[in-house]
Every structure is written in C-alpha cells, then in structure tokens.
Amino acid sequence: MTFSYPKPELKLHRSITEKLLDGVFVSTGTHEYDILSEYQTWYKAFFKESFNIDLINKHEVFYCESLTKKTDKTKNIMVFIAILMYEISNRGQEPVSTIETTEFTYDQVRTIISESVQFSAYVDIEKYGTRFFNELYNFGLIHKMSGERFVFTKAIDVFLDEYQYLIEQLDLDEGVQGMG
C-alpha cells in the first residue's frame, strides 16, 4: 500500500509515529491527538500496514496496543497502579474515581505503596523514585503540576480497564472456588 501523508500535518507525522512506537499514550488536549483524531482512518491503516500494529483510540487516548502488552515498563506500571488502587480502596476511598480526580505528590504515592501491608515485602520502594514518575510523564500517563505534584491523564483509563478486568477475574475465581 502506498501512503501519501496528510499534507498540512506532515511536519508532525514523524513525532506522532515515534511517540506511538515508543509506547507513549497520546491524550486529548494535545496537537498530536487532534491530528490523530482528524486522520484516524489514515493513521490506523498506516500503523497496520507499516508495522503490523493496531492503533487504538479509547478513553480519549491513542496508543499502539501490541506495544503496551510487551514491555517490562508496562508491567511495572500495571503493578504500580494495581497496588496504588488496592491501597486506596483499603483506605475506604473509591479507587477509580480517586485516581481519575486526585492531585498526588510523588512522596504521597511512595508512602501509600511503602505502607502496603499486602505488598511491602514484594515491592522495592526505591523503584518508585523521580525517574519512575518521569517515565510515567514520558509515557503520557501523568501531567506534572508544580513541584512533585501530578495528576493522572486520561491515558490511565487504559490501565484502569485492565485493573477492572483483573478484579472481575478474581471475583469469578473466588465464585468458582466457593462452589467446590
């Protein structure tokens, strides 16, 4: 298949392609997202034909699905989010809405994870230093506020879907075990 680039957006095409191939989540509110939305059909065909990768648009976020399932970074992020949500729930808060609406600090999140009774023996809290939060930023998962304050972007919803799926699977497994 021969592609002719969207003419007015040719200068951003390389940047968009590199970000998506690097596993970055492109969220609403960016020029890249606007271009991907406008030329969505073209970009989906481009990624499929050029790289055999599915370009997904979900929760106001574009990302390459096959890349998100293969990287160790994605697994680390999933573990981080799962522990954070578990601990938020243990504190009596609704985890999904808290993640979607709360402004956090790096230290606040590290404290939540380090105080985890369930997971503290398994988690190296040093792994969640500034470098880790910079990776979350580079992946488009957080928006940095002043200092070490941040909010999660809409891209976090991709991980929240996976979290919900895991919870549902745990509920199903418990139901099956209880029947035996």
Fold (CATH) for 8-68: Arc Repressor Mutant, subunit A (1.10.10)
User: Going by DSSP bridges, is the β-strand pair 104-105/55-58 parallel, antiparallel, or unpaired?
Assistant: unpaired
Q: Using one digit for the tens of pLDDT, what is the confidence trace for 23-52?
A: 888 988 888 999 999 899 999 999 999 889
Contact present, 140 and 157 (Cβ < 8 Å): no
The pair of structure tokens assigned to 26 is 């492109």
User: Going by DSSP bridges, is the β-strand pair 26-27/55-58 parallel, antiparallel, or unpaired?
Assistant: unpaired
Enumerate the domain spans of the chain.
8-68, 72-179
Q: Using one digit for the tens of pLDDT, what is the confidence trace for 124-146?
A: 777 888 888 998 998 889 999 99
Is pTM beyond 0.75? Reply is no
- Measure CA 150 to chain center: 14
Q: How far apart are CA 91 and CA 52, in angstroms?
A: 43
- Measure CA 94 to chain center: 19
Fold (CATH) for 72-179: Arc Repressor Mutant, subunit A (1.10.10)
Contact present, 25 and 63 (Cβ < 8 Å): yes
Query: What is the H or E stretch that residue 150 is in?
Result: strand 149-152
